[in-house]
Structure 1
Amino acid sequence: MPRFFAVLALLAAPAAARAQEPPVLVFLLAGQSNMEGHAKVSVMDFQAAQPATRDLWAPFRHGSAWAERDDVLVKFLMRKGKLTAGYGAPKCIGPELGFGQVLGDRYPQPVLLIKAAWGGKSLYRDFRPPSAGMPPREALDKMLADLKKRKADATEADVTAPFGASYRAMLDEYRSTVKDVAAHFPQLAGKKTELAGFIWFQGWNDMISAEATAEYATNLGHLIRDVRKDLGAPKLPVVVGEMGVDGDKANDGVKRFKAAQQAGIAKDEFRGNAVLVKTDAHWDAEADAIYRRGWRENLEAWNRVGSDYPYHYLGSPRTMLGIGRALGEAAVALRERK
């Protein structure tokens, strides 16, 4: 009989050990094109080989190639795998590389980054959260009238359908990934997951619209509350990347939008559980100077530092890395405060 109980104890031991394992920390990274990321890996390839910049990229290299992290996994819509260079737009990086580095270095358990980002989306329309309701009647009527100029048989349903579509797609992407996490990442089979943070980096399409900017502070509050409610995480840490286009040379439109973002986070209910991270501090001054001189006329120099337009943070890998790290550090601070 003692032998029988000893065997039972041995069989139960692995299950007990798994139950005591810390959960996989899941972070939902959402937004539009700059959460996608448009900094080309080809620029990183060059910088990784230069004495002045190779130390910046050394933590991400394995010999002459980009390393993969076994402890940080990424799912970006149809792509998935171990964290490495290239999980932005095709052949690009976004904030996920620096973000994943910070989280992977900080926590001993696996980290999973789920990116739900699509270019050209607004909080006013595409990511509009349920509690925001629909825009005022006069705004919808104007949209319908404008649409009918291009499509004579347009209906109000054509106008209202896009509202909240990206918000719902974001939730679906998170839920479907977590539900089938072992199918996506076999190394996570049998492990529990914990939603550990919501990272929001978005704003250009709202910034260029006076109506959307005017609503942004209110809609950002709705977004935070609704994500927490819909994902069953009432105390979910939230990190918002502030608009940082043009660095300290931002125009009045960018400044107005920044003020709206700040007002959205400044509510008492978000004190200590949501934070706004400045991204203008990571604006690439070297890339900016070449862009302003004329990137086409200085193409060789430009290809060493940048790869896109200012609204994509000049496609600077250094900027994307800095922003990702700053978002990651804020997520760690909020989680540990929680």
Structure 2
Amino acid sequence: MRIPLFVAAICAIIVTGCQSSNAVQVYILAGQSNMEGQGVVDLDHPSHYNGGKGILKNVMAKPENRERYAHLKDANGSWSVRDDVFVRFRNRSGVLAGGLTIGYTGYGTPTGRHHIGPELQIGHQLGDATEQPVLLIKTAWGGKSLYKDFRPPSAGGENGEFYQKMLTEVQEALDNIDTEFPALAGRPVKIAGFIWFQGWNDMYNDKAREQYEDNLVHLITDVRAQFKNQRLPVVIGELGNGGPQAGKNMLTIRAAQKAAAARRELGGNVSFVPTTDFARPKEDSPNVGHGHHWFGNAESYFLIGDALGEAMVKLKK
């Protein structure tokens, strides 16, 4: 596949800045709806949100959780906003860009922030471990498969529309970094890692399941080639919905994700992160009918993000 000129340009910009000690550390977060973020923050309608069970506001109020979640609120009791970690996500309502806080999800708007995704705790983990500023570029769309929608060039067949959209949105974010993130204006950038959290849609297609391991290896290979870094750290989040007990199709995807991370041709620097332990019962969650979205349980999304971020930090050491 011929590399578009804009992608070639972005690679040149990044390589030029990689040597600088003050480069913005850019992490690409990609996947489908669970990377978009479905964890409920503060919606507690008795019928629509199960009375607020499993929402972030209530999870962090539990005595056993207060210390671990304390950083999410500032001294005034408002949601904290980091000035060293930034997020950029284009959803259906437009671009959300700013300091790390709640609300960078598919439902988010500048004035309506009621959900979280893995990015929240990924950002805190990376920000706490990094001296340079961090920028998370989220590129996620619900209902998309690796087999078709994210299909990378080296997998053969028709290139996935959302593979290209992922690259386009990374380019868009970097093109607009000076205006959307004034605090980062003029600084070089470095693509520092890639985090993948996806798999649901591939469960329902025989060929998608059969090819998932190979397609994921191709995705990692192509992303690394795109940004001219064959050792780019990559973290794969397990399709852990529902916990350890799962049907055959889901177990197939989980096994493929784990196997892909260990594939010799990737040369290491890839981490597979189990997530099944972070599943919570629907009875203790706000969206009791949304098993595909971890029942909207904010604790699940917090813990997933924490584990994905921790894994990336370990790869960077």
Same fold at TM > 0.5: yes
Conserved? CA contact 1:66–1:84, under 8 Å: yes
**C-alpha distance in 2, partners of 1:246/1:51?**
26
Indicate conservation of the 8 Å contact 1:127/1:165, yes or no. yes
Q: Given the superposition, is the C-alpha separation of residues 52 and 308 from structure 1 closer, same or farther in structure 2, using an over 3 Å criterion?
A: farther
| Residue range with higher mean Cα deviation, 225-234 or 45-54 | 45-54
Equivalence for 1:61: 73
Aligned to 1:223: 219
Q: Structure 1 pair 51/262, CA: closer, same or farther in 2 (3 Å)?
A: closer
Pairwise CA distance, 1:57? 2.4
Shift in Å at residue 34 of structure 1? 0.6
State the 4+ residue runs in structure 1 displaced beyond 4 angstroms: none
* TM value normalised by structure 2: 0.82
The change in CA–CA distance for 1:23 and 1:257 in structure 2 (over 3 A counts) is same
**Which residue of 278, 300, 310 corresponds with 1:329?**
310
- Hey, what's the Cα distance between the residues in 2 that align with 1:178 and 1:272? 28
Is 1:311 the counterpart of 2:307? The answer is: no
Per the TM alignment, residue 262 of structure 1 is displaced from its structure 2 partner at its CA by: 2.1
- How far apart in 1 are the matches of 2:285 and 2:119? 24
Matches within 5 A, 1:202-241: 202-241=198-237
Q: Are 1:83 and 2:100 matched, yes or no?
A: yes
TM-score of the aligned structures, taking structure 1 as reference length: 0.77
Shift of 1:233: 2.2
Single out whichever of 51-60 and 243-252 deviates more from structure 2: 51-60
> How far off is 1:75 after superposition?
0.1
C-alpha contact (below 8 Å) 1:73/1:83 kept by paired residues: yes
RMSD across aligned positions (CA): 1.8
Equivalent-residue separation in structure 2 for 1:72 and 1:280 (angstroms)? 28
**What displacement does 1:335 show?**
1.5
Cα 1:54–1:307, aligned 2, differ >3 Å: closer, same or farther?
farther
CA contact 1:308–1:315 (8 Å) conserved in 2: no
Which whole-Å CA distance do the structure 2 matches of 1:126 and 1:98 have between them?
Answer: 27
User: CA deviation digits over 1:211-262, x for unaligned, max 9?
Assistant: 1000111111110111111222222111111110111221222111111222
Aligned to 2:57: 45
1:133 and 2:156 matched: yes
Once residues 96 and 69 of structure 1 are traced to their aligned partners in structure 2, the CA distance between those partners, rounded to angstroms, is: 13
Deviation at 1:269, TM superposition (A): 2.4
C-alpha distance in 1 between matches for 2:234 and 2:164: 18
User: Which one of 140, 143, 147 corresponds to residue 117 of structure 1?
Assistant: 140
User: How far apart, in 1, do the equivalents of 2:268 and 2:316 lie?
Assistant: 10
Q: 1:49 to 1:263 in 2, by over 3 A?
A: closer
Structure-to-structure mapping, 1:1-338, within 5 angstroms? 21-42=21-42, 43-62=55-74, 63-77=76-90, 78-90=95-107, 91-134=114-157, 163-284=159-280, 287-288=281-282, 290=283, 302-303=285-286, 309-336=290-317
Q: Partners of 1:123 and 1:117 in 2: how far apart?
A: 12
Q: Which runs of 5+ in 2 are unaligned?
A: 1-18, 43-54, 108-113
Aligned to 1:9: none
Q: What's the secondary structure of 1:125's corresponding residue?
A: coil
Q: Call closer, same or farther: CA 1:98–1:308 in 2, change over 3 Å.
A: farther
Once the 2 structures are TM-superposed, how far is the Cα of residue 50 of structure 1 from its aligned partner?
A: 4.0
Q: Deviations over 1:288-314 (max 9, x none)?
A: 4x1xxxxxxxxxx644xx566111111
Give the 3-state SS of the residue equivalent to 1:112 in structure 2: strand
Gaps of 5+ in 1: 1-18, 135-159, 291-300
Q: Secondary structure at the match of 2:147?
A: coil
CA separation of 1:223/1:46 partners in 2, compared to 1, >3 Å: closer, same or farther?
A: same
